[in-house]
Amino acid sequence: MEASDIYDNILVNRNSLDFIEFPQIRWYNAYRDEQLISRRSDLLEFTKDSLLFKDTKPFYKQISKGCKLCGAGFWSCLFITGKCNANCFYCPTSQTHDDLPSTQGLSFESASAYAEYVNHFKFKGVGFSGGEPFLVFDRVIDFLKKLRKKCSPDLYVWLYTNGILVDEIKLKKLAALGLNEIRFDIGATDFSLDKVRMAKGIIENVTIEIPAIPEELERMKLLLPEMIKAGVSNLNLHQLRLTKYNAPKLLKRDYTYVADERPLVLESEIMALELIKYASDSHLEIGINYCSFNFKHRFQKAGFRSQIANALAEDSEIINSNGFVRNLNGHTLNYERITVTDFDHLNGLTLDLNHKKYSIKRDSIMKNTELTSTQLSDVETLISEGEEQIPKDEFLYHIWKMEHIENKLRKF
């Protein structure tokens, strides 16, 4: 058995164990679900010339500037609140608490501290997410003001919303402070475009970002021309995933679940690809991209790791494409991950900016390993030119995953 197959089996077993209390889950089966996979393969073949980020992001026509920054690793997503006023069946987490604004485990009591963080780690884009940002609109305004005052004027800023609390006065305030893009989850409002139309002509870029819900394919086809009339430049579709929080609602629907790093809805991916094909066949003037979980799990994490590592590593250290510090000294190999956490006085390494102090941690994600001469040669080849060829050997596959951002969208 090849190393990648062993890893896939580990994921299957882990997912089955993690969700053992839900015996009704319809896990993907290659024989039973042959028709679904065949359709998926046909759609991927159709999109083969319109793929970004190692084939993890199929798209039609264009993607937004925010999505480009995300894929390149230059995006900071700030969860401005943890509270939401909608009740979407697909939401992966409980959103009932108004927590401090946070990103990647860091919390920010002040907007100035967050602006300094964005500057220090050289992020080029910021997204206000939640929860629902309009529930804490004054807080959003405060953070946006500080970003515009302290950061580069080229910083691209967008905001996610379900639209329920959106009104013209608030939109104009955001526009006056330089909000570049607003993204509506119309799935929370029964696919209403009323607030989307309201934003047209006020916010420069209007986007719809929703999960790809399989049973809504035909409605979405009919809505595409209306979206264009409403001023929507891009439609972002992301993949439904199963969590223990949304399982009671999601499992009422007849979906097939793929055991990946997280359980993913196979039909959700197919729906996104179907809509891209439909828009292309119809020559519609709207950009559509499918933000697969593989893209989110790999590129977003690798991008963040790289920003942190490049800012904090020693000049002599090597940061690989996955954002890990690679230490290869003679025949000894190890990998480290540099992380930033809220200040912990027990940790010796600190980063002290004007408005906030951080702890810097180095985690060994692969301890010192002594390589044989053959292994050293194989590892050096893998590092320099082995991205496309996935090793069959289990040890080399482990190294390959450290070095490269894996493309698994096409694998079944």
**Cα(225)–Cα(284) distance, rounded to whole angstroms?**
8
- pLDDT of amino acid 318: 95
Closest CA relative to residue 26, chosen from 274, 250, 270: 250
What are 35-72's pLDDT values in tens digits?
Answer: 999 999 999 999 999 988 888 899 999 999 999 999 88
Q: How far is CA 281 from CA 127, 218, 221, 252, 350, in A?
A: 32, 15, 12, 33, 55
CB 60 within 8 A of CB 287: yes
- pLDDT of amino acid 169: 98
H/E element, 17: helix 3-18
Q: Percent of the chain beyond pLDDT 90?
A: 80
- pLDDT of amino acid 129: 96
- pLDDT of amino acid 172: 98
Range of the domain at 336: 313-403
Which of the listed residues 240, 268, 302 is the one where a domain comes to its end?
A: 302
In this structure, are 288 and 321 located in the same domain? no
Give the tokens for residue 201.
């002509």
**Residue 235 located in a structural domain:** yes
**Residue 17 located in a structural domain:** no
Q: What does the DSSP assignment read for 210-270? A: EE--GGGHHHHHHHHHHHHHTTEEEEEEE--B--TTTHHHHTTS---EEESSSEEEHHHHH
H/E element, 317: none
Which of the listed residues 302, 329, 354 is the one where a domain comes to its end?
A: 302
In this structure, are 322 and 219 located in the same domain? no
- pLDDT of amino acid 384: 86
In this structure, are 334 and 275 located in the same domain? no
What count of other Cβ atoms lies within 10 Å of the Cβ of residue 252?
10
In this structure, are 251 and 104 located in the same domain? yes
- Say which residue the tokens 């979980």 belong to: 293
**Residue 308 located in a structural domain:** no
Number of structural domains found in the chain: 2
User: Coil, strand or helix: which one is 201?
Assistant: coil
- pLDDT of amino acid 7: 84
- Length of the chain, in residues: 412
In this structure, are 107 and 221 located in the same domain? yes
List residues bridging with 10 in a β-sheet: none
Sign of CA dihedral 274, 125, 407, 185: negative
- pLDDT of amino acid 385: 80
**Residue 205 located in a structural domain:** yes
- pLDDT of amino acid 1: 67
Comparing 186 with 292, the larger pLDDT belongs to 186
**Residue 12 located in a structural domain:** no
In this structure, are 273 and 330 located in the same domain? no
- pLDDT of amino acid 136: 98
Sequence-separated (6 or more) residues with CB below 8 Å from residue 336: 324, 325, 327, 362, 363, 364, 365
- pLDDT of amino acid 408: 62
Which of the listed residues 249, 276, 302 is the one where a domain comes to its end?
A: 302
The mean per-residue pLDDT over the stretch 170-182 comes to: 98
Q: Percent of the chain beyond pLDDT 70?
A: 98
- φ, ψ at 260 (rounded to 5°): -110, -155
In this structure, are 231 and 152 located in the same domain? yes
Numbers of helices and strands, H then E, in the chain: 14, 20
pLDDT at 406 > cutoff 80: no
In this structure, are 85 and 220 located in the same domain? yes
**Cα(191)–Cα(203) distance, rounded to whole angstroms?**
20
- pLDDT of amino acid 294: 81
**Residue 160 located in a structural domain:** yes
Q: Is the link from the previous residue into 201 a cis peptide, with omega within 30 of 0?
A: no
| Residue 84 CB-density burial (10 A; 0-12 exposed, 13-18 middle, 19+ buried) | buried
Q: How far is CA 129 from CA 162, 212, 254, 278, 283, in A?
A: 10, 19, 30, 30, 32
pLDDT at 228 > cutoff 70: yes
Q: How far is CA 238 from CA 119, 143, 208, 210, 257, in A?
A: 29, 27, 11, 6, 15
**Residue 72 located in a structural domain:** yes
User: Coil, strand or helix: which one is 93?
Assistant: coil
Dmax over CA atoms of the chain, in Å, equals 68
What count of other Cβ atoms lies within 10 Å of the Cβ of residue 345?
8
In this structure, are 264 and 348 located in the same domain? no
**Residue 9 located in a structural domain:** no
pLDDT at 410 > cutoff 60: no
What are 296-338's pLDDT values in tens digits?
Answer: 878 888 889 999 999 999 999 999 989 999 999 999 999 999 9
- φ, ψ at 200 (rounded to 5°): -60, 130
In this structure, are 131 and 173 located in the same domain? yes
In this structure, are 257 and 347 located in the same domain? no
**Cα(290)–Cα(269) distance, rounded to whole angstroms?**
8
What count of other Cβ atoms lies within 10 Å of the Cβ of residue 296?
18
In this structure, are 297 and 317 located in the same domain? no
Min mean pLDDT across 247-256, 289-298, 370-379 is at 289-298
Amino acid in position 59: F
CATH of the domain at 143: 3.20.20.70
Q: pLDDT averaged over the chain?
A: 93
